Amino acid sequence: MITEDFSEINGEGTILRKTQLRVLDMLIIVDKICRKHAIDYWLIGGSLLGAVRHGGYIPWDDDIDISIQYKDLKKLRKILLKELPKRYVIQDYLSDKNYYLDSVFKIRDTKSQFYVEHYRSFKEQGIVLDIVPMEKIPSMKFKRFIFRLNKHPYLRRKELSLTGKSNNIKGLLLKPFAAMAIKFAHWYSNISTTKMYGYNYIFWLGRCFELHFHKSVLFPLKEMEFEGNSFFVPNNVDQLLKITYGDYMKIPPKENRQVHATHIEIYE
């Protein structure tokens, strides 16, 4: 049972609560679009944890994370470009030359400022909703190989993004081969009969790279309340959260509560 009072963190009228409500509006729109076009999505990460433990946001969280199947990525991107309200923009390596998160694309609110130090060179800086693809992973050894191969081009693009220059000759030479390898990996996963799923081949965030879920943990999707609205979640939320966080109902101490933005502004 949660007894701590979080009102000083995200109470009514705080900039964090205004941010949370702004991102919630974005999720409601994405939910409607995905339902309209029969594209599966589900809450992941801290957003899923918040839904279970808090009935909405983790009190100190400042964004929303959802996942889709990698095979739906291009389709969803194309639809969002047409159907998102004009105040929102898609941010990925196609729309922003400084963007280096190959396996994630973001939806940004243009009427705000969401300052994250290591994203400072990105074109769009607004409040954000992250979309992280998952796909079938036939072999973790193969996934590690693809990641290592793509690490050099990735680091080169990241270095270019953060410093404006790069001396990573190895990355430059490997880039064409790495691009072919990742295309093969996606094709191989698509035809595979494996029932194991993981985050996109080059999704690099911490131990998420190593997480592996049986198909039955993810599908069929269910619905769960989040901030008074119903959104899709994995089939076995308890097992997924245990795999991801361990004792996920335990509130972490204040020093371990992570936020993304160091500064937030909302213009309207």
Q: Which residue type, as a one-letter code, is found at position 186?
A: H
Does the structure show a pLDDT above 60 at 163? no
Residue-level pLDDT at 113: 96
Q: Which two tokens stand for residue 255?
A: 């020093």
Q: Which two tokens stand for residue 148?
A: 């290592």
pLDDT, average across residues 34-61: 97
CA distances from 139 to 133, 188, 189 (A): 17, 11, 9
Kindly report the CATH number that applies to the domain delimited by 7-135+199-266: 3.30.460
Q: Work out the mean pLDDT of the chain and round it to a whole number.
A: 90
Q: Give 17's pLDDT tier (boundaries 50, 70, 90).
A: very high
Q: Helices (H) and strands (E) in the chain — how many of each?
A: 8, 11
Q: Tell me the pLDDT tens digit for each residue of 48-99.
A: 999 999 999 999 999 999 999 999 999 999 999 999 999 999 999 889 988 8
Q: For the chain, give every domain's residue range.
A: 7-135+199-266
Residue-level pLDDT at 1: 62
Distance from C-alpha of 163 to C-alpha of 166, rounded to nearest angstrom: 8
